[in-house]
Amino acid sequence: MDYEAVIGLETHVQLRTKSKMWCGCANEFGAPPNTHVCPVCLGLPGVLPVANEEALRLTALAGLLLNCTVSRYAKFDRKNYFYPDMPKNYQITQYDKPSTVGGFVEFEFAGEANLKGPNGFPMVRITRAHIEEDVGKNFHFERNSGVDFNRAGVPLMEIVSEPDLSSAEMAYAYLNALKDILRHADDEGIERVSECDMEKGMVRCDVNVSVRPKGQQELGAKIEIKNMNSFSGVRKALEYEIPRQIEVLKRGGKLVQSTRRWDDVAGITEEMRTKEHAHDYRYFPEPDLMPLQPSDEWRDQVERSVWELPLLRKQRFLREYFLTAEQAEAFRMNLRVGDHFEREAKEFLATHGSLSQQDKTRYLHDFANTIIQTLHPLLAARKRAWPDLVITSSGTLALSGSFTRGEISSSTRSQIAVEWIDSGKDVQKIIEEKGRQISDIGALEQLCEQAIAANPGPAADYTAGKAAALNFLKGQVMKLSKGKANPALVGELLERRLKSSGR
């Protein structure tokens, strides 16, 4: 009998706020233990929580980015349980009336998918994205343990998916798409929902997985793998757990609902407890917080903050600017650089509409590469940002266009870019100073004749079948031109000349 996996994910994401969810303590990673705490986040008697408005806004914004509906009525609840890292012995969260509901995420995935989204990509439905608070962090030493409450009360958003995933690789692709959506911004401070830094514990994931015979509609026993702190860990845990469950069923065994942990060193999951249900937490409405009833004005303001989804941005760049997948991916990942390219690409297309489709594509490809391969690495190496420079549309287009027309070589383009970034001089002046590349056919043919006449041996070697000799002759032409000859054109002219002469 063939089996299939059914997977749903609960992804917990720390929100990018300056302060915690219910108090004014700093939301800051890496401070000395228990230095960002107060009576509120320590749960001392008599304290009252006050909701962080920025956290509420970011939760609504995330819901819109995930195609969810922002609820007109939401409330907070107490989830009761005892654990050392939860000082109140309950967590303030949202249970039956969350802030956002009913969305979906589309993402790129080469394998089979159960659902397709409106743009034709694999899709996972989102049940809800709600706000809650994070807990502290336990530390275990040789003879004792400690708790750091700096993280307790940090705004935490939980994104709950429907069980639409069917493999470890699909879960991995979905999680990366989710991260890209929530932190889709460059390094220069454009707004994002979360930093999503997994090394700092800003994203954690609970995995719900079951298996069932293919074709069966009824779900199998749900096994939850708790507190996964890396996407690769989620993938490895599923690669182990799915075959484990299938093997139990094939041997005639029975699976029961349980919670397991992933041992990354041993590469196995281990059972922690069984039959955990929602009623075990004794949810009830949080008495110290009013329900949320956002106004139309507030909702409209949040909607105006929504940015273009990364996947849709990539597809639009492919469609409108004829880029390669690699170029579109680079502009998808960096908003500032992609926006710079788009502004200038629009200007170019508006002023060069008469060019053929082939020429437009060639110019835009070279323009994209000038930004991605030449300018952006130089800026990154100098720890400088795009807004710091006087990089005008005319400047970038002039640099790229000179290369496309064969007026400068790729190495000269890099030299000009360095001088431009370091000095701020006008690009056209630098191009003139460096000297335009020789692409005139007549002038290059004369240089080729001189090189062949001065080097009859390598010329004969090439006609005898030694292809490497052509590079030597190209080098001689470049010397004669003082490095200004178009090397690609030189190679074509030399090859044509030697073949036609019968040498």
pLDDT tens digits along 135-145: 999 999 999 99
Whether residues 120 and 16 fall in one domain:
yes
Average pLDDT over residues 308-316: 94
- Residue 453, pLDDT > 70, answer yes
The count of other CB atoms within 10 Å of the CB of residue 419 is 16
Residue 251 lies in a domain: no
Question: Looking at 18-22, 35-39, 172-176, 471-475, which range is the least confident one?
Answer: 471-475
- Residue 32, pLDDT > 50, answer yes
Last residue of a domain, one of 413, 434, 455: 434
Last residue of a domain, one of 416, 434, 452: 434
Average pLDDT over residues 169-196: 83
Residue range 143-153, pLDDT digits in tens: 999 999 999 99
- Residue 423, pLDDT > 90, answer no
Is residue 474 classed as helix, strand or coil in its secondary structure?
helix
What is the pLDDT of the chain when averaged over all its residues? 90
Phi, psi of 256 (to 5 degrees): -120, 150
- Residue 185, pLDDT > 70, answer no
Whether residues 40 and 157 fall in one domain:
yes
Residue 90 lies in a domain: yes
Query: pLDDT class for 392, splitting at 50, 70, 90?
Result: low
Q: Cα Rg for the chain, rounded, in angstroms? A: 30
Residue 249 lies in a domain: no
Residue 84 lies in a domain: yes
Whether residues 98 and 200 fall in one domain:
yes
Task: Write down the pLDDT at residue 394.
Answer: 65
CATH number of the CATH domain containing 497? 1.10.10.410
Residue range 44-84, pLDDT digits in tens: 999 999 999 999 999 999 999 999 999 999 999 999 988 89
Last residue of a domain, one of 285, 302, 319: 302
Task: Write down the pLDDT at residue 190.
Answer: 55
Question: Token pair for residue 363?
Answer: 């110019």
Whether residues 464 and 417 fall in one domain:
no
Q: Using CA atoms, how far apart are residues 388 and 349, in angstroms rounded to an integer? A: 26
Q: Which amino acid is at 183?
A: R
The one-character DSSP state at 280 is G
Residue 226 lies in a domain: no
Task: Write down the pLDDT at residue 46.
Answer: 92
Q: How far apart are the first and last CA of the chain?
A: 71
Whether residues 28 and 169 fall in one domain:
yes
Whether residues 293 and 372 fall in one domain:
no
Strands (E), 87-144: 90-93, 100-106, 123-133, 137-140
Residue 334 lies in a domain: yes
Residues 6 or more apart whose Cβ sits within 8 Å of residue 446: none
Residue 239 lies in a domain: no
Phi, psi of 261 (to 5 degrees): -120, 155
Whether residues 481 and 403 fall in one domain:
no
Whether residues 333 and 409 fall in one domain:
yes
Question: In residues, how long is the chain?
Answer: 503
Whole-angstrom CA distances from 327 to 223, 371, 401 are 41, 10, 18
Q: Provide the whole-model pTM.
A: 0.84
Residue range 193-237, pLDDT digits in tens: 998 998 899 999 999 999 999 989 999 999 999 989 999 999 999
Query: pLDDT class for 503, splitting at 50, 70, 90?
Result: very low
Whether residues 480 and 337 fall in one domain:
no
Residue 358 lies in a domain: yes
Question: Token pair for residue 343?
Answer: 């502004």
Query: pLDDT class for 333, splitting at 50, 70, 90?
Result: confident
**Segments forming the whole domain that contains residue 446:** 441-501
Average pLDDT over residues 354-377: 92
- Residue 490, pLDDT > 90, answer no
Whether residues 412 and 478 fall in one domain:
no
Count of structural domains within the chain: 3
Is residue 436 classed as helix, strand or coil in its secondary structure?
coil
Whether residues 373 and 462 fall in one domain:
no
Average pLDDT over residues 165-183: 95
Average pLDDT over residues 232-255: 96
User: Which residues, listed in sequence order, are joined to residue 270 by a DSSP beta bridge?
Assistant: 261
Residue given tokens 């991260």 in the structure block? 179
Residues 320-339 as b/e (b if ≥16 CB within 10 A, e otherwise) read ebbbeeebbbbbbbbbbbbe
Whole-angstrom CA distances from 321 to 314, 358, 361, 367 are 10, 12, 7, 11
Average pLDDT over residues 83-105: 95
Whether residues 50 and 121 fall in one domain:
yes
Average pLDDT over residues 432-458: 84
Residue given tokens 């090189």 in the structure block? 451
Q: Using CA atoms, how far apart are residues 17 and 193, in angstroms rounded to an integer? A: 9
Task: Write down the pLDDT at residue 337.
Answer: 85
- Residue 461, pLDDT > 90, answer no
